[in-house]
Structure 1
Amino acid sequence: MKIRMKAAALLLTCMMLLSLMSFGCAETPKESGQKDGQGSTASDPLGIAGSADEALQDWSIYDKLIDEIRSEQDSQKRIILMHKAEDILMDTGAICPLFSWNARGYYWKTPLNGFYFPPLIGPIFTHTTGTADGILRVRQHPFSTLDPDLLEDVSQRSILLHLFAGLCEIDENNCLKPDLAENIEISEDGLTWTFTLKPDLKWSNGDKLDANDFVYAWKRGADKTIGNPYSSLFSSIEGYPDRLNIKASEDGRTLTVKLVRFCPYFLMLTAMPAFVPLPQKVIEAAEQQSGDPFAWTETGTMVTNGPFKVKSWEPNVLLDMVRNENYHRANEVTLDELIVHCEAVDSSFYQKYIDGEYDFIEFRGQGDYSQLPPYEEHHSVPWALGAVYLSFNINNQELFGKMTPQEAKTLRQALCLLIDRKALAAAAIGSEDDASSTLIPPGVSDGSGNGEQFRSNSEDYRYPIQDPPGYYPLKSDFTRAKELLQSLGYRFTDEGKLSPETPLHLKFTALEVAKDFLPNVVEQFESYGISCETEYCNFETYMKQRQEGDFMVSLSQWGMDYNDPLNLLENYTSDSTHNECGFGR
């Protein structure tokens, strides 16, 4: 017996909506008589003693825990397992949370209307009105690729969804609903999904689009050899990564997917850029001609199936898109042209907006602040679920080479205790209330489908710090940090700074966009006598260094791909391309 679309989609959509709308849920209040940091001591500053000790010796323990989370169907047991995974990661001291970043700042011209911000995706301009000439000019964060399998930045998701359409979409009401799919059937055990596509779908070049394009795209996306940093998004499908159990019917109208486990967020994934169809014929022809598997995204070659198609494209400079007449809902597109400026930020960033060169810009904390646009045109939109944190490379020989694993962990935890997260959050995003000391940011669902967020205290689990839930104080705890450092042999002057006799030097790696924020982190460490140096990189260099372990401390940011803690927790398995800390390596 199969559950048909109307029943199944209603259930799953309700579950997803509860997750999507859980941004900003109230924190669980601290019970009377409880104290922050209850259970913690100088030797166990997080109050979770030994959570990571065994795993640091054999990281397969953590890998197996993630596999257990993936397969567990009891929601309450799954929540406890996910807390255990976060405890392990936090006890290593290798991940140092700073603040959550759920809202993004934008400026847009007052007449503009009709665009919206789907959760986890960002601004969608397909229905925008109020432009003078039918052309919208947007200023976006730099990006160098249009290939959905090489997604670089969370803000790039919205760009790709102007070029591609998937099986489902999130509409202007934050509702998850079918897009290219006409009908969806789900087996009684939730493991077999059958998508029937709408008839007469086309690519922008007029070629037929069918279920085979999804089979090709998903198998390509799961293939780790092409360098897709998000290949693990396909791990819920049976046969991942080499033999995904997905099939197209003979007539190309039906796509059948077999999952290895029940996945409550699978429908949400089908609305993301990683799960859009791809034109196999065009990709393979371009590769055969050039030898480059990504040459198909070049101007004059790229084929799309979304509201827009590419007119011209220069990486990290400009993307010019025009209406795609073969889009299956072309009559709903209100813009004739969408121009995205994506060059590096310079001092004229805001002035160009004021002068009318841009209609819509994302505020990134950069540029000439003396030329800020009118305040009434500034908007803060909470569409993302993001975390900003420091990542320590546990295999860095310069910092940890002469230490035992326990000593290295103690040093990292001491450094994490020194940070004033409230001051950092205020400096970076203008709100100390967003300071955070958990890896999983507030607003992330617990995955149960009941609308509760993961970062909360319950009868089954309590964070070491109760209110707000966390692992470290939000203000610097110099006393405990000093005790830990002294246990490692570091000495301090009467002024509370590290003695020159026992120096400590930190090297930070960060993206260029962090130039206005990372100095705040450096300043805090230097105030305690720790010497620091910084290196700012473009995205390609930054990712290469992280993946190869060629750094000491990295300023990291993660935007959730789907609203479930597993999305962040599975980043740290031994074989994950996002395991920048080097666990299990």
Structure 2
Amino acid sequence: MRGAKSAKWVVGAVIVALAATACGGDNKDDKPTGAGKAGGTFSLGLVEPVSIDPVNAQESEGILVTDNLFTGLYEPTADGKVIPALATSKTVSDDGKTWTFKIKPGTKFTNGEIVNAEAFIRGWTRLAAKASASDVATPNVGGIDGFEALQKGTATTFSGLTAPDENTLQVKLTTPDFEFDVKTTHTSMSPVPKVAGAGKNQAYNDAPIGNGPFKMSGKWEHNKSITLVRNDDYGLTKAHLDTVKISILNSANAAQLEYQGFQSGQFDWARMPTAQLTSAKAKYTAQNEWIQADTSGMNYLLPITENGPLKTAKARQAISYAIDRDAIIAGVFQGMQTKSTTILPPSFKDVYQKDLCVSCIKQDKDKAKSLAAEAGLKPGDELHIGFNTGGGHEEWVQAVVQQIKDVLGLNVKMDAKPFKELLAAQQAPGATGAYRFAWGADYPTPDNFLFPLLDSKSINKDASGKVQGDNRGRYNNPAFDALVEKARSTKDSAARNEVYKQAEKLAMDDQALIPLWNRTQFRLVNTKKFTGGAMDFHEDPNLAEISAK
């Protein structure tokens, strides 16, 4: 999940305890269960999503909406466990290539249509179809037999998906994957009703009909608002809130507007501008409205490895050595972030390899200059660094740019764009330089970082050369790809983790990504009017668990 958000597993030091994502279960009453009472309107602001339809849901803003409109087979709890949602059981063959899921009978979409195995087949087929041009298809359904034919447009059905009966879904993979069940937690793996049609179905894209704890009220008013209301016919534990009002903030100062909106009472949830973190923490901790958590997200510079000034590993290492992460954390972040020296987050404790990124440990100006010279990077050479507006990134990007200028003498060009435009620029043929990049785990496994961000299959260019996968840096190393495939094929989890560690080291030796800092997130939540508010696995508010006081 791309960060703004995304996406997507909260493990670590938490100032306000995080509530686990609601578990599946029967609730035959019309009223919500659990603490709190039904009713209330919860308001928040965010920047314009890329998509609120599961066919292309990919960053925090879109995932926030889609996760609440849809429910799949499994879901992640706030602390990174995977629990059943609509799945009642799962089995996997000894060779890791056939998965069978039993689905809870009797649940419905909000239009009354039954959610069954065919609804999942419909959703996953739609995700893989060429016409959908989904950015999130490959890491999630790319391993299912028949995916390539759908991507090429030579098939309209998914040969690897069958429904032996109404509530049984069988999945056949082209290669073994003993973690496939974990991938089904991604919201793109949701079932969809018949009306969803093809991926490019604007009416459905703007007003998705789902089976989750909330449903749309009207349609997505682009660049203005999205409104959700409780789904009183939800087949699992019902939400408490009547309404969720989302204001879309189209501003380079979106975080500032969220913070101001919280202070004025307009919003009940907010991010904060980086410059306000210290004062906000002091004020709102005392009021029990401050949330702080180390999450399974990571912040990087994304170097374009296919062409341009950062094509070689030595050039990328030179940039990394030129950055003084400690100074930026102390100055810009006021000590409220921690330095990253890995690709995988510290919360993945079984695979974490501290200081794997040697160039990240400490700024080394001499080493940076030496490597730059070997790579042919000369003072005055141009380097493009792109970042998204509205997320509070301006200060630290400026600091990184100035350090690179000071150490290497490069002519660094900052390019600020709205988030959707930044993603498009990363994908565009001929992209060059580096980009601000963040990744939050969509599901709790190293595969969710290593495959989408670095496997060559996740480049997935279309005919124009546009990158459709998440490997926006175009990193391509067959030895790395082989290790990821080997890990997926390894049944024993401890042995599998050892292979993941080998893959991460190989990519780190190539400086395929430039780690900056681990992801600590800060939020404000209105505890005067609401109870149960916390960050979910995706760093979003846990809307289905919040209730009015």
CA distance in 1, matches of 2:301, 2:78: 34
CA distance in 2, matches of 1:419, 1:260: 42
> Which residue does the alignment assign to 2:427?
547
Supply the AA of the counterpart residue of 2:361. Answer: L
Supply the AA of the counterpart residue of 2:148. Answer: P
> Which residue does the alignment assign to 2:188?
274
Q: Give 1:160 deviation, angstroms.
A: 1.6
The answer to whether 1:390 aligns with 2:301 is yes
Does the Cα contact within 8 Å between 1:224 and 1:241 map onto a contact in 2? Answer: no
CA distance in 2, matches of 1:277, 1:381: 31
DSSP 3-state at the match of 1:517: helix
In structure 2, which of residues 215, 231, 252 is the aligned counterpart of residue 309 of structure 1?
215
> Which residue does the alignment assign to 1:352?
261
> Which residue does the alignment assign to 2:270?
361
Q: Which moved more, 1:524-533 or 1:411-420?
A: 524-533
Supply the AA of the counterpart residue of 1:510. Answer: F
In structure 1, which of residues 441, 452, 456 is the aligned counterpart of residue 345 of structure 2?
441
Does the Cα contact within 8 Å between 1:437 and 1:474 map onto a contact in 2? Answer: yes
> Which residue does the alignment assign to 1:520?
399
Supply the AA of the counterpart residue of 1:536. Answer: A
CA distance in 2, matches of 1:128, 1:143: 31
Does the Cα contact within 8 Å between 1:164 and 1:273 map onto a contact in 2? Answer: yes
Rg comparison, structure with higher value: 1
The answer to whether 1:209 aligns with 2:86 is no
Shift in CA distance, 173/561, structure 1 to aligned 2, threshold 3 Å:
closer
DSSP 3-state at the match of 1:534: strand
Shift in CA distance, 167/134, structure 1 to aligned 2, threshold 3 Å:
same
Q: Give 1:363 deviation, angstroms.
A: 3.5
Q: Give 1:245 deviation, angstroms.
A: 0.6
DSSP 3-state at the match of 1:558: strand
DSSP 3-state at the match of 1:136: strand
Supply the AA of the counterpart residue of 1:471. Answer: V
> Which residue does the alignment assign to 2:386?
509
> Which residue does the alignment assign to 1:479?
366
Alignment of 1:200-349 (within 5 A): 200-223=106-129, 225-232=131-138, 233-242=140-149, 243-249=158-164, 251-279=165-193, 281-284=194-197, 292-299=200-207, 302-312=208-218, 313-329=220-236, 332-344=238-250, 345=254, 347-349=256-258
CA distance in 2, matches of 1:104, 1:225: 42
Q: Which moved more, 1:508-517 or 1:175-184?
A: 175-184
- Cα distance per residue 1:531-567 (max 9 Å; x no partner): 3221111233212221123332212112222333332
> Which residue does the alignment assign to 2:473?
581
How many residue pairs get aligned? The number is 430
Q: TM-score, normalised by structure 2?
A: 0.69
The answer to whether 1:536 aligns with 2:436 is no
> Which residue does the alignment assign to 1:566?
447
CA distance in 1, matches of 2:160, 2:145: 5
CA distance in 1, matches of 2:213, 2:68: 6
Shift in CA distance, 566/220, structure 1 to aligned 2, threshold 3 Å:
same
The answer to whether 1:375 aligns with 2:254 is no
- Cα distance per residue 1:372-399 (max 9 Å; x no partner): 86333211123x42221122223445x3
Shift in CA distance, 210/227, structure 1 to aligned 2, threshold 3 Å:
same
Q: Which moved more, 1:197-206 or 1:231-240?
A: 231-240
CA distance in 2, matches of 1:170, 1:574: 27
- Cα distance per residue 1:298-319 (max 9 Å; x no partner): 34xx311001100032234322
Q: Give 1:105 deviation, angstroms.
A: 9.8
CA distance in 1, matches of 2:424, 2:475: 17
- Cα distance per residue 1:237-269 (max 9 Å; x no partner): 2333334511123x5222111234443332222
Supply the AA of the counterpart residue of 2:179. Answer: Y
Does the Cα contact within 8 Å between 2:51 and 2:62 map onto a contact in 1? Answer: no
Q: Give 1:130 deviation, angstroms.
A: 5.9
Q: Give 1:236 deviation, angstroms.
A: 3.3
> Which residue does the alignment assign to 1:74?
none
DSSP 3-state at the match of 1:579: coil
The answer to whether 1:455 aligns with 2:352 is yes
- Cα distance per residue 1:145-188 (max 9 Å; x no partner): 21112123145434322110111233577653322223333334
Shift in CA distance, 237/485, structure 1 to aligned 2, threshold 3 Å:
closer
The answer to whether 1:418 aligns with 2:312 is no
Shift in CA distance, 128/366, structure 1 to aligned 2, threshold 3 Å:
farther
- Cα distance per residue 1:260-314 (max 9 Å; x no partner): 44433322222220211011x2122xx6xxx943431334xx3110011000322
Shift in CA distance, 530/432, structure 1 to aligned 2, threshold 3 Å:
farther
* Structure 2 spans left out of the alignment, 5+ residues: 1-8, 23-31, 150-157, 460-468, 478-549
Does the Cα contact within 8 Å between 2:98 and 2:172 map onto a contact in 1? Answer: yes
CA distance in 1, matches of 2:335, 2:243: 36
Does the Cα contact within 8 Å between 2:75 and 2:83 map onto a contact in 1? Answer: yes
Does the Cα contact within 8 Å between 1:545 and 1:551 map onto a contact in 2? Answer: no
CA distance in 2, matches of 1:489, 1:194: 53
% identical equivalent positions = 25
CA distance in 2, matches of 1:486, 1:184: 55
Q: Give 1:574 deviation, angstroms.
A: 3.6
Supply the AA of the counterpart residue of 2:339. Answer: A
The answer to whether 1:194 aligns with 2:103 is no
Does the Cα contact within 8 Å between 1:421 and 1:435 map onto a contact in 2? Answer: yes
Does the Cα contact within 8 Å between 1:234 and 1:241 map onto a contact in 2? Answer: no
Shift in CA distance, 198/136, structure 1 to aligned 2, threshold 3 Å:
same
Q: Give 1:525 deviation, angstroms.
A: 1.6
Does the Cα contact within 8 Å between 1:194 and 1:254 map onto a contact in 2? Answer: yes
Does the Cα contact within 8 Å between 2:74 and 2:84 map onto a contact in 1? Answer: yes
Q: Give 1:527 deviation, angstroms.
A: 2.4
Does the Cα contact within 8 Å between 1:443 and 1:454 map onto a contact in 2? Answer: no
CA distance in 2, matches of 1:131, 1:428: 41
Shift in CA distance, 534/130, structure 1 to aligned 2, threshold 3 Å:
farther
- Cα distance per residue 1:47-92 (max 9 Å; x no partner): xxxxxxxxxxxxxxxxxxxxxxxxxxxxxxxxxxxxxxxxxxxxxx
Alignment of 1:39-50 (within 5 A): none
CA distance in 1, matches of 2:242, 2:46: 19
> Which residue does the alignment assign to 2:484?
none
Shift in CA distance, 182/453, structure 1 to aligned 2, threshold 3 Å:
closer
Shift in CA distance, 429/195, structure 1 to aligned 2, threshold 3 Å:
farther
Supply the AA of the counterpart residue of 1:159. Answer: V
Shift in CA distance, 174/337, structure 1 to aligned 2, threshold 3 Å:
same
Q: Which moved more, 1:129-138 or 1:148-157?
A: 129-138
CA distance in 2, matches of 1:319, 1:507: 34
